[in-house]
């Protein structure tokens, strides 16, 4: 039973990670790209676009790590033994 519960829990975590990945893509699409995609001063803004995109992606990775840490220590390891 322990393995099935842990497996279900990890799958839930991965669904959350997947949804946040799509949410971050959507966020970038409606903000940065919407503002910068059709701009005339191409080079500066394209560099800026990439930097902001990477910063958001890095932020997502950090959130993913914090979430996994929470999942392991607060949910999986804290559970009462059966």
Calculate the alpha carbon distances from 7 to 4, 16, 36, 76 in Å.
5, 14, 42, 10
Work out how close the CB of 65 gets to other proteins at its nearest, in angstroms, rounded to a whole number.
5
Going 51 to 52 to 53 to 54, the CA torsion angle's sign is: positive
Site string for other proteins, 11-50 (x = CB under 8 A): x--xx-xx--xx--xx-xxx--x------------x---x
User: Six-digit token pair at 66?
Assistant: 């914090």
Work out how close the CB of 75 gets to other proteins at its nearest, in angstroms, rounded to a whole number.
9
Cβ neighbours of residue 45 closer than 8 Å, sequence gap 6 or more: 36, 39
Q: Which residues bind other proteins (CB under 8 A)?
A: 2-3, 5-7, 9-11, 14-15, 17-18, 21-22, 25-26, 28-30, 33, 46, 50, 61, 64-65, 68-69, 71-73, 76-77, 79, 81
């Amino acid at each position: 039973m322990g393995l099935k519960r842990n497996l279900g829990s990890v799958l839930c975590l991965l669904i959350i990670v997947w949804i946040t990945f799509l949410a971050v893509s959507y966020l970038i699409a409606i903000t940065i790209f919407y503002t910068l995609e059709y701009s005339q001063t191409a080079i500066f803004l394209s560099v800026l676009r990439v930097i902001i995109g990477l910063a958001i992606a890095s932020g997502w990775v950090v959130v993913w790590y914090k979430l996994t840490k929470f999942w392991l220590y607060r949910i999986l390891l804290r559970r009462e033994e059966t």
